Amino acid sequence: MSPRRLSDCCQTGTMVIQHIAFGQDWHHAQRTGTYDRSTRGASIEEVGFLHASDGPEQVSAVLERFYADVREPLVLLTLDEPALAAAGLSVVREPGDPADPDSERFPHVYGGPLPVAAVSRVEPVVRSEGGLAPDAVGGSDDAAVAADVDALHLSRAITLAGANAATDGGPFGALVVTADGRTFEGANRVTATNDPTAHAEVTAIRAACSGMDTFDLTGAVMYASCEPCPMCLGAALWARVDRVVYAADRRDAAAAGFDDAAFYDYLESPDRDGLMPLVHRAIPEASAPFEAWRANADRTEY
């Protein structure tokens, strides 16, 4: 049978288009900007369309039927229909069982890979005793969902940190999730690149700014495996990051032999223990650079 347009078969726009994705596949999509999986193990290219569900009931049924044995983290993506249309993709409701035209209909997205920007909401799929619990599906409490998304990103930052520590880097990982949902990752490269500023957070901010072609990450959230040091906190402030979420704290870092806590103490009182003298000498030409800045009509404010 030939696919029909959504408008031919549905009364109103009450449909919620949702897709179950593996967390790893979604992270990969955030790095590349497009999501190309259709369903478990098969790509959109192979299947011809992206498998989706219409609302919590269908999502629960699909989870139970096709994902019950999955142990890897899953996320539920809610797709934005106007954004799909803007990207040249179309949604068609078709029988879930291609061999049975009377079987329950599911939304299928045609036209190629899914732009990450067409995903309006990401929720973790939570497991309960009996397997995959549908109670995480359908958005019970927004704050709880946001917290779970934070946990998912923090978990990724910790994975990056662990992998880095097992090779040639320090035990720190971070990621920046931009306002449009793209993810940029960073790991500590201080010793690997002889760069004392190459902390995971700075590396992630550099990747995000380079990838987004901007110096302003307004609307972004930064996730760090450990509490950012003063330099990284400063970098996040300068990058205009909206929020910073971290897992381990400065005391955990100190216990592992890192100086974060000592540097925070220094900032509170730079002359307390002679760690690094900070000297102010107001020589006459000190303000000349600012005069040059003000005189430059072509300057880019930041």
Tokens of 244: 């910073």
Between 59 and 232, CB nearer to Zn ion: 232
> C-beta of 263: minimal distance to Zn ion in Å?
9
Instruction: Quote the longest CA-to-CA distance of the chain.
Output: 85
What is the 8-class DSSP label of residue 104? Answer: P
Nearer to Zn ion, 110 or 258 (CB): 258
Based on CB atoms, which residue is closest to Zn ion, 27 or 250? 250
Which residue, among 239, 166, 158, 235, has the nearest Cα to 198 in the 3D structure?
A: 235
Tokens of 236: 């996040």
Nearer to Zn ion by Cβ, of 182 and 199: the residue is 199
At its nearest, how many Å lie between Zn ion and the CB of residue 144? 30
Q: What are phi and psi of 67, to 5 degrees?
A: -125, 10
Catalytic machinery residues: 201
Binding site for Zn ion (CB under 5 A): 199, 229, 231-232
CB of 176 to Zn ion, least distance (A): 14
Strand order in the sheet with 183-187: 183-187, 173-177, 221-226, 243-248
Residue at 245: amino acid letter = V
Residue 60 beta carbon to Zn ion: minimum distance, rounded to whole angstroms: 42
Query: Could you tell me the two tokens for 270?
Result: 């730079």
Say if CB 223 and CB 185 are below 8 A apart: no
